[in-house]
Amino acid sequence: MELAITILLFLALVSCAIAIALVRNLFAVVMLSGVVSLLAALLFIVMDAVDVAFTEAAVGAGISSVLMLGTIALTARNEKVPPRYSLVPLAVVSLTGMVLIYGTLDMPNFGDKNAPVQTHVGPSYIERTPKEIKVPNFVTGVLASYRGYDTLGEVTVVFTAGLGVILLLGGLGKRRKRRRESN
């Protein structure tokens, strides 16, 4: 049953992705990418990652759509017709895909309890969090305490990216307008 839901959601996801490649109206592209995010969030819930699903729904379907719509409003509404369709990208992509699929052949089955991923750090976090931190949500325990240093780095990346956007777009326009008015 769970597998059927996963595959169904996934087929919807892939068809949205293909539609994104084909549609030329950028507004439709942005809306479809919002749909992709929501479907991805549903898939994350099926795979037990509630925190991740929450983030994906809020970020991917919410903020990301607003920002892309803002970009469209500042640039163009339609993609121009591509001058030629070439087979080279398709060939490159298929080749890469086949190499990746070859790589998955050695991987353990989906949901395998004895997979290498499940035997090392994960179980020790699950064992230690209720004793040492006494927080019911393991994800919060690992994120904020065991891997607090890691999260500090991530927050710094967010900070830096925000700083970059402010420097690229904020304020400069105003200054240029003022200069134009004074001329």
Partner 1 sequence: MDSLFNTEFALGHMNYWLFVILMMTGLYIVVARGNLLKKIVGLNLFQVAVFMLYISMGKVAGGTAPILVDNPDQAYSNPLPHVLILTAIVVGIATTSLGLALIVRINETYGTIEEDEVLDIDHDMYSAEVAEMEKFKLMNAETR
Partner 2 sequence: MEHHLILRVVTKMLVGPILLYALYVQFHGDFGPGGGFQAGVIFAVAFILFGLVFSLRQLRKLVPDWVVHQLVALGLLLYAGTGVLTLFLGGNFLDYNVLADVAYQGQHWGIIAIELGVGITVFAVMLSIYYAFAGRPPQLDDKDW
Binding residue for partner 2, selected from 15, 71, 96, 124, defined by CB under 8 A: 71
Give the residue with the Cβ less far from partner 2, 12 or 69: 69
Does position 17 interact with partner 1 (CB under 8 A)? The reply is yes
Does position 156 interact with partner 2 (CB under 8 A)? The reply is yes
**53 contacts 42 by C-beta, under 8 angstroms:** yes
Does position 165 interact with partner 2 (CB under 8 A)? The reply is yes
Binding residue for partner 1, selected from 92, 171, 177, 178, defined by CB under 8 A: 92
Does position 175 interact with partner 2 (CB under 8 A)? The reply is no
Residue with tokens 């597998």, as numbered in its chain: 3
Q: Which two tokens stand for residue 182?
A: 């004074």
Shortest Cβ 65–partner 1 spacing (Å): 11
Give the total residue count for the chain: 183
Among positive and negative, which fits the CA dihedral 128, 132, 138, 141?
Answer: negative
Q: Looking only at Cα atoms, what is the longest distance across the chain?
A: 72
Binding residue for partner 2, selected from 54, 91, 92, 111, defined by CB under 8 A: 54
Distances (CA, A) of 148 to 7, 49, 143, 145, 157: 35, 20, 6, 5, 14
Shortest Cβ 102–partner 2 spacing (Å): 35
Binding residue for partner 2, selected from 59, 93, 95, 115, defined by CB under 8 A: 59
